[in-house]
Chains A and B, each alone.
Chain A
Amino acid sequence: MAIIEVKNLHKVYGSTVAVDDVSFEVEEGEIFGILGPNGAGKTTTVECIEGLRRPDGGSVSVLGLDPVRDRMDVRRVLGAQLQESELAEKITAAEALDLYASFYPSPANPAELLDDLGLSDKAGTRFEKLSGGQKQRLSIALALVGNPRIAVLDELTTGLDPQARRDTWHLIEQIRARGVTIILVTHFMDEAERLCDRLALIDGGRVAAIDSPAGLISRVSTEQTLRFRPSSPLDETVLSALPDVTAVSREGAHFVVSGTGNLPYTVITTLAAHDVVAAELRMDQASLEDAFVAMTGRSFEPEPVG
């Protein structure tokens, strides 16, 4: 069942079209990604879902409610983690969570939530003294403290170091395991590929495609590439004659073999039959980024991380 429905959403700021025509549905219990470069209209789209902005055209429905007209009801079931939203410098983590818990009819236990997010030992620490990753986790905790059915997380890992990003990803998977439906806004390809069940590629205020990450990639290319250095001299024709192989080329001492189907198995067993071992073996597949480039006709340039 669709828990969120966005139909032909259109939003204009002055003379700038932020969102041209965006439609998608989010199913209950999934992690739905909204992926696209800066200025694609991702944040505006989720702000319309959160009820922070009024659409200029189209409709948004959250659990059958209108986020603008039924803002109160929507806010009780939807937790939002906003991009670049801070807290008062001198408020402690526990105080902030207690305060926000008091805003909701049946909140989560703030102490348990701090524990779940690995912030127990920071409960008495002021916001200004928390690290970037800790601030983000507190921000997620605030989005979850009302026991929402839907959590909207916007640019969650921007500015985090690699370890903190991985920890945050793990956390999001835990939240989903509790039955919370998640909308994840990101411009990181690896993040979308790792976390999302389905995602909408947005570019220039329009939806370029909606599918699972694997589905999007397979639309672009089903080809794989193997690159290796044979342990002993090898005739190229041995490989190019194989049914799954479409091309073989050489880069110095390395072979580059492209093909479809069960390429790795076919190539490795053939090499073994010729008593050749594939050293420095690497396998490449098309990535989400390749899919994006193919579908929008332009390169995807994420902003510098900082």
Chain B
Amino acid sequence: MSTLTKITTVESKLFLRDSTSAVMTFAMPIGILVIFGSIGFTEGDNENNVSAGFLPVLSLALAAAMLGLSVLPTVLATYREKGILRRLSTTPVHPANVLTAQLLVNLAAAVVAAVIVLALGAVAFDIGMPDNPVGFLIGFLLMASSLFGLGLLVAALAPTGKAATSIGMLLFFPSMFFAGVWTPGDLMPEWARPIRDVSPLGAGMEAMQSAWEGHWPSATNLLALIVVTVVAGAVSARVFRWE
């Protein structure tokens, strides 16, 4: 088994043993789907331009945001704080392997959460599936990569695991606002809409929403997600401290 495979296997076990991350990743999106699905939110609200795909898209976005903005930076900053990355530096294996393993584990968790949400939505609540699955997948993966990029940046800058959690939460709540989680569709104030189009969570949700309705995600949304991924990734690669 290669070193990265071995580390990824161990990190996946640790991920599943941590009940907080498991709840955030799987229970929360499923809960949202079940609760709002049960009260008939899936019908769509044409008056305010809220589409039927809003609920699964929201669930997936929240799962990816929790992973990227909370779980990933907290784990990595804690590993640094506890000297785990430093200890790895004394072995023939570079600690970057742990970082890669964490990205893989969190991505896998996001994908598993997405599959569960989509399957449950289709089977239990008759929400259906995205009309443009490829566009949906692209939107989802780019949203995840931009959120993970931001998470790496938080991990790079936060001095401790606790600080990483706090900074992640500081990013999480405005992200939800600008993504229109509380004010979906046309309920969002005019001034906030341009930010929605380019903020990772907003752009990601818009991209997935378009694909749900059978369109291709807009270039603005995709470009915004790519820019965030590349910039956050590059900056964190430059400033990340191993100890």
Instruction: Say yes or no: A90-B17 contact (C-beta < 8 A), given A85-B82, A85-B83.
Output: yes
**Is B3 positioned at the interface, with any CB of A under 8 Å from its CB?**
yes
Contact of B79 among A72, A84, A88 (CB under 8 A): A88
B7 shortest CB reach to chain A, Å: 7
Contact flags (1/0) for A78-103 with B, using CB distance below 8 Å? 11101011111011000100011011
Whether the pair A85, B86 counts as a contact (CB closer than 8 A) is yes
What secondary structure prevails in chain A residues at the interface with B? loop
Contact flags (1/0) for A103-118 with B, using CB distance below 8 Å? 1100000000000000
**Is A52 positioned at the interface, with any CB of B under 8 Å from its CB?**
yes
A65 shortest CB reach to chain B, Å: 13
**Is B190 positioned at the interface, with any CB of A under 8 Å from its CB?**
no
User: Complex Cα distance A153/B85, Å?
Assistant: 18
Kindly report which residue of chain A lies nearest to residue B91, judged by CB atoms.
Answer: A103
Whether the pair B90, A82 counts as a contact (CB closer than 8 A) is yes
**Is B14 positioned at the interface, with any CB of A under 8 Å from its CB?**
yes
Whether the pair B7, A99 counts as a contact (CB closer than 8 A) is yes
Chain B residue numbers with a CB within 8 Å of A142 are 87
Whether the pair A76, B90 counts as a contact (CB closer than 8 A) is no
A51, A85, A88, A103: which has the most chain B beta carbons within 10 Å? A88
Instruction: Say yes or no: A75-B91 contact (C-beta < 8 A), given A99-B10, A102-B1, A102-B6.
Output: yes
Chain A residue numbers with a CB within 8 Å of B86 are 52, 82, 85
The number of chain B residues with a CB under 8 A from chain A is: 21
**Is B93 positioned at the interface, with any CB of A under 8 Å from its CB?**
yes
Kindly report which residue of chain A lies nearest to residue B6, judged by CB atoms.
Answer: A102
Chain A residue numbers with a CB within 8 Å of B3 are 102-103
Instruction: Say yes or no: A99-B84 contact (C-beta < 8 A), given A52-B90, A88-B14, A104-B92.
Output: no
Contact flags (1/0) for A53-87 with B, using CB distance below 8 Å? 00000000000000000001001101110101111
**Is A259 positioned at the interface, with any CB of B under 8 Å from its CB?**
no
**Is A50 positioned at the interface, with any CB of B under 8 Å from its CB?**
yes
User: Complex Cα distance A134/B228, Å?
Assistant: 44
**Is A36 positioned at the interface, with any CB of B under 8 Å from its CB?**
no
**Is A213 positioned at the interface, with any CB of B under 8 Å from its CB?**
no
Chain B residue numbers with a CB within 8 Å of A103 are 3, 91-93
Contact flags (1/0) for B71-87 with A, using CB distance below 8 Å? 00000000100111011
**Is A146 positioned at the interface, with any CB of B under 8 Å from its CB?**
yes
Instruction: Say yes or no: A85-B92 contact (C-beta < 8 A), given A99-B10, A102-B1, A102-B6.
Output: no
Whether the pair A85, B18 counts as a contact (CB closer than 8 A) is no
Contact of A84 among B1, B14, B83, B91 (CB under 8 A): B83
**Is B38 positioned at the interface, with any CB of A under 8 Å from its CB?**
no
Whether the pair A87, B84 counts as a contact (CB closer than 8 A) is yes
Chain B residue numbers with a CB within 8 Å of A100 are 91
A125 shortest CB reach to chain B, Å: 13
User: Complex Cα distance A90/B1, Å?
Assistant: 22
Chain A residue numbers with a CB within 8 Å of B1 are 102
Instruction: Say yes or no: A146-B91 contact (C-beta < 8 A), given A85-B83, A88-B79, A99-B7.
Output: yes
Contact flags (1/0) for B86-101 with A, using CB distance below 8 Å? 1101111100000000
Whether the pair A86, B82 counts as a contact (CB closer than 8 A) is yes
B30 shortest CB reach to chain A, Å: 23
Chain B residue numbers with a CB within 8 Å of A85 are 82-84, 86-87
Whether the pair A104, B17 counts as a contact (CB closer than 8 A) is no
Instruction: Say yes or no: A95-B10 contact (C-beta < 8 A), given A85-B83, A86-B82, A102-B1.
Output: yes
Q: Can you offer 7 A-B residue contacts whose CB atoms are under 8 A?
A: A51-B90, A75-B92, A80-B87, A86-B84, A88-B14, A103-B91, A103-B93
Listed in ascending order, the chain A residues whose CB lies under 8 Å from chain B are 50-52, 72, 75-76, 78-80, 82, 84-88, 90-91, 95, 99-100, 102-104, 142, 146
Listed in ascending order, the chain B residues whose CB lies under 8 Å from chain A are 1, 3, 6-7, 10, 13-14, 17-18, 79, 82-84, 86-87, 89-93, 243
17 A-B pairs besides A52-B86, A100-B91, A146-B92 with CB distance below 8 A are A50-B90, A52-B90, A52-B243, A75-B90, A75-B91, A75-B92, A76-B92, A78-B90, A85-B83, A86-B84, A87-B82, A88-B79, A91-B14, A102-B3, A103-B3, A103-B92, A142-B87
**Closest A-B pairs by Cβ, 5 of them:** A85-B83, A80-B90, A86-B82, A90-B17, A103-B93
